[in-house]
A and B are shown apart, each in its own frame.
Chain A
Amino acid sequence: MSAATAKETKNITLSINGQQVLAEKGLTVLEAARGAGIYIPTLCYHPILPPYGGCRMCVVEIEKMRGFPTACTTPAEDNMIIKTDTPQLQELRRNILELVLTEHPHSCLICDRKEQCYPYHICIRKVAVTTGCIMCPKNGRCELQKVVDYVGLKEVSLPYTYRELPILRDSPFFDRDYNLCILCGRCVRVCQEIRGVGAITFTYRGPKALVGTAFDYTLQKAGCQFCGACVDVCPTGALIERASKWEGSPDYVIATTCPYCGVGCRLNLEVRKDRIISSVPAIKGAQACVKGRFGIVEFVHHPQRLSNPLIKKDGKFVKASWDEALSLLAEKLQRYKGDKFALISSAKITNEENYLAQKFSRVVMGTNNIDHATRLCHAPSIVGLTEAFGIGAMTNPISDIGNTSCVFVIGSNTISSHPVIALEIKKAISKGAKLIVADPREIKLCQWADVWLQHLPGSDVALLMGMMRVIKDEGLADSTFVQERCENFDAFKDSLKDFDLDFVEKITGVPKAKIEKTARLFATKKPATIIYGMGITQNSHGTDNVFAITNLAMLTGNIGKPSSGVNPLRGQNNNQGACDMGSLPDVYTDYQRVDNPDIRKKFETAWSAQLSSAPGLTLPEIIEAAYKGEIKSIFLIGENPLLSEADAARAKEALKKLEFLVAQDIFLSESAQLAHVILPACSFAEKDGTFTNTERRIQRVRRAIEPIGNSKPDWWIISEIAKRMGAEGFDFSHPSEIMQEIAKLTHSYSGITYQRLEDMCPQWPCPHKESQGTPILHVETFVRGKGRFSPLIYKPSAELPDKDYPFILTTGCSLYHHQTGTMTRKVSGLNALEPEGLVEINSTDARQLNINEGERVKVISRRGQVTTKAKITEVCPQGMVFMRFHFAENGVNILTNPMLDPVSKIPEFKVCAVKIEKE
């Protein structure tokens, strides 16, 4: 078979219009023709959609085939003889087009003077609504125009009906003018088949047929997620992005990487007159989500962007020149060298900038006190995965997920947090994979789940150990894998004794039988992949949770193989990269430990400096040390600890106590307000660099526009300060030079150069210049040698509900906002879709407390209280309330518990006890 397959993928030869065409087997006639540069008109075809064969515009003649087959659905075969442009075909196409145009305004389409026309040309055919091309925003880019031109349609003899439909403007980002719709169905298909949403559909039939929603609901009510995929496939002006509607074509397009979540979608920024007018998926067939598609232009060009350095004088910020600000900084920072200083770097800035930030702390400031927000989301993953497997990152690529047989999602509301990864999960399901979801809340993904385990918050270890006990007892474990590839199994096996299913049922609230059923399902479907998010990590036993997951994957042999693995989803665009670059207190780049003398020596030589051997403080510890007055100066890059730290009130106190606080950011964040000096940084659109996404893929960020105001790239700012402080090794004129230095010191990035990144985005380890990267980790052996099982015991969450604080509060994210909202809340459309933070509460609890929908309530924990609106829901179980963490005005982290996981130092964001009172 395999020999045959190899042959089959070989090229075939066709004749198209007398031209010999070479094509790959498996392509359609249309794809073969287009590949050879031969145009066949199409309307319903779109390269990212499965062939549909609806419009019949692509009819061709094929020798030995009867009738007129549609090129978009006919497989190309060897020796086919095809004609695409006979007079008869053109006639057929004209007839079909004429029918289409009875309902599409076409006066301009077939006008014989259209070449001479321009917008203010007087013509009786132009009226206020779009009835002619000249006044259509799609003019010049419309596929219908192209097809009409090609088939040479000059007249429509059938009667024309204008549908007289109102333009629908209920989406904040795009307009829907179904008067221009030709019912090609692309939007419907992309929404149903690619996005798995189905917000829009064909309604009615015959002359009443139209694209729309059930009962003409607004898009939001119909479940639309505003990804814009429909807009991007529409051939006509029916679906149009509102912001760029009248902008026309861009001057140029720059390929870059989305600055929001860890998926790292490749985006094209369309630029006109040094302004970004739109951002669209860069790769053919790739998808984005609402944030990347519609959430960029407005924040980059927001009037509140910081555009000058600011120095606080007598409690007020005063505009300063760069020279003034940098000299002040250089002079002040001299006084805080050593462990009185800490740098809080950012998972938003580039790899190169993170590299410089940690080098600056270590070399110039002489301290390992450097950390960033990954501490608050995935520190347990780094610690746990490193201990179990040898490296703390996703084991498999995102594209693997779509081909798996079983997806186990635990503690990740993937549709909201990583929308484009959720598409892969849906793809797997549509190919027959099983989906297991474990989440206390009935998240959207549950709709597709074969099993939904509604376990109590904080009971993950018990749940997973229960499953593993079943797998072991019933002989479903992959014993070969366990024996050959792993160690410490016996200790782990002994620890399973404590998890008999009655105990597990009691702790988790999930019926025994269901746990058994799930365990069998997971163990028997191969390959299976585990996807997890912050529901696993943000606990006072987060590292144990991660161990439970690594145990499960090893027990079932789901490591080192395609479409299997353990896959922590990183929240921010460059969480992975910031960690790889050593913006962490205990490691240099590539997780090389600062307390290993050999490694330290290597860096001391490379950087010509004395380095501190003591690991520095973690982010929560930095804040605590500031509170206690042990740290006196903090350099804050792009972070907003006032909203992101647990027990935010205490964090604010801590920052206030600092003698010298520097904030470098694109906006004046809540935390930056407390700073002594503010430095305006460039956004991702104004600088070069790289981000490393959640699947370890190193991708370019490219400068698309000039810096806004007097802002500067973070790498430039750090270098300038270092240089002014007399340091050497900060002479860089472009980030590519910084990457050269990184590559020298960082094994897994050794093969990276900017030149190579022009045509590839490898997944690290990419250890030499020939390496194409490593999509799957631990294939032959684990990075650490053998995979290590961890014995576990059940530890309850640090703060459980009691008489005084009867509810469990858990936190999470929204599809429409990101992190502390610094960027997304500047985007009016995203604010329109989700204007404010709410507290979700189960309807039964609401009834008992006599709380109505939308009523203002106080949520009170032992640490503080916030006031917010109540949203009554069935998504949350009884006894639990839920808040999203993006909203400054009712910052949920006033409430959360700063209790740390002892190993990874992550605070317990996911579980704390609260009470609810009416305001």
Chain B
Amino acid sequence: MYKQLAEIFKQYEGEKGAVITVLQKVQEKLGYLSKEAISGVAKFFRMSESEIFGIASFYAQFRFTPRGKHAVKVCLGTACYVRGGEEIMKTAEKNLGIDRGGTTEDYKFSLERVACFGCCALAPVMLVDKNVHTKMNLSKVREVIKRYQGEK
């Protein structure tokens, strides 16, 4: 793992303040922060795994489980939020059986919040992979998720 990440580490040699940037790059590369990745980053910064994990888990952007096959993203930007984005999110959570930031046990779905997609006019918005679903309501959420759940 350390070797795999060496490329990233090389750019930040000696920069003690770069923990978050490095974590971001690692997540970009691996899709999530695995146990091995955290241990590699800890070694690089000469910190403990717990310290690195503590920093990472403070930020919502970091995930510790691999992404599911389908990335479900619910917008909680201002426009979507005032139009019930939070309810959309809760429904998605309930239907997928995971919290935001989580991944289903079969690694089929992961759920994330995002802030503003730039199509506020069509709020509230939910994305599954690259497909944008607009003007969502609770039953549409259930429907969309069911569709993906049904596929083989």
The chain A residues found within 8 Å of chain B, CB to CB, are 192, 197-205, 212-215, 217, 222-223, 447-448
Contact = CB atoms under 8 A, between A and B. Distances in A.
A285 B48 CA distance: 23
B53 A201 contact: yes
Contacts of A212: 50
A332 to B, nearest CB: 58
B50 A200 contact: yes
B130 interface: no
A223 B48 contact: yes
B54 A201 contact: yes
B58 A213 contact: no
A193 to B, nearest CB: 11
A821 B48 CA distance: 30
B38 interface: yes
Contacts of B53: 201, 203, 213-215
Given A205-B58, A214-B38, A215-B35, A192 B51 contact: yes
A223 B50 contact: yes
B50 A204 contact: no
Contact of B50 (A201, A205, A447, A448): A201
Contacts of B46: 447-448
A561 B139 CA distance: 78
A447 B53 CA distance: 18
Q: Could you say which of B43, B46, B53 has the most chain A C-beta atoms within 10 Å of its C-beta?
A: B53
A214 B58 CA distance: 12
Contacts of B43: 447
B64 interface: yes
B13 to A, nearest CB: 13
B87 to A, nearest CB: 19
A637 B152 CA distance: 77
25 contacts: A192-B48, A192-B51, A198-B50, A198-B51, A199-B50, A201-B48, A201-B50, A201-B54, A202-B54, A202-B58, A203-B53, A212-B50, A213-B49, A213-B50, A213-B53, A214-B35, A214-B48, A215-B38, A215-B53, A217-B50, A222-B50, A223-B48, A223-B49, A223-B50, A448-B46
Given A215-B64, A447-B46, A448-B46, A201 B51 contact: yes
B1 to A, nearest CB: 13
B19 to A, nearest CB: 13
A192 B53 CA distance: 14
A212 B64 CA distance: 15
Interface of B: 35, 38, 43, 46-54, 57-58, 64
Contacts of A204: 57-58
A205 B54 CA distance: 9
A217 B49 contact: yes
Nearest to A213: B50
Nearest to A205: B58
A199 B49 CA distance: 8
A139 to B, nearest CB: 30
A213 B48 CA distance: 10
Contacts of A447: 43, 46
A198 B47 contact: yes
Given A198-B50, A199-B48, A214-B50, 19 more contacts: A192-B48, A198-B47, A198-B51, A201-B48, A201-B50, A201-B51, A201-B54, A202-B58, A203-B53, A204-B57, A205-B57, A213-B49, A213-B50, A214-B48, A214-B53, A222-B49, A222-B50, A223-B48, A223-B50
A215 B52 CA distance: 11
Chain A to chain B: the 9 pairs with minimum beta-carbon distance, closest first: A198-B48, A201-B54, A214-B53, A214-B49, A201-B50, A198-B51, A214-B50, A204-B57, A203-B57
Nearest to A197: B48
Q: Could you say which of B47, B49, B58 has the most chain A C-beta atoms within 10 Å of its C-beta?
A: B49
A877 to B, nearest CB: 18
Contacts of B48: 192, 197-199, 201, 214, 222-223
B52 to A, nearest CB: 7
B152 to A, nearest CB: 32
Contacts of A198: 47-48, 50-51
A489 B38 CA distance: 52
Nearest to B46: A447
Given A222-B48, A223-B49, A447-B46, A203 B35 contact: no
Contacts of A202: 54, 58
A895 B50 CA distance: 39
Q: Could you say which of A204, A212, A223 has the most chain B C-beta atoms within 10 Å of its C-beta?
A: A204
A197 B43 CA distance: 13
Contacts of B35: 214-215
A374 to B, nearest CB: 35
Nearest to A203: B57
Nearest to A204: B57
Contacts of A201: 48, 50-51, 53-54
Contacts of A197: 48
Contacts of B49: 213-214, 217, 222-223
B102 to A, nearest CB: 12
A203 B53 CA distance: 7
A199 B52 CA distance: 11
A874 to B, nearest CB: 11
Nearest to B99: A208
Contacts of B54: 201-203, 214
Contacts of B51: 192, 198, 201
Nearest to B49: A214
A217 B51 CA distance: 13
Contacts of B52: 214
A898 B133 CA distance: 79
Nearest to B48: A198
A354 to B, nearest CB: 41
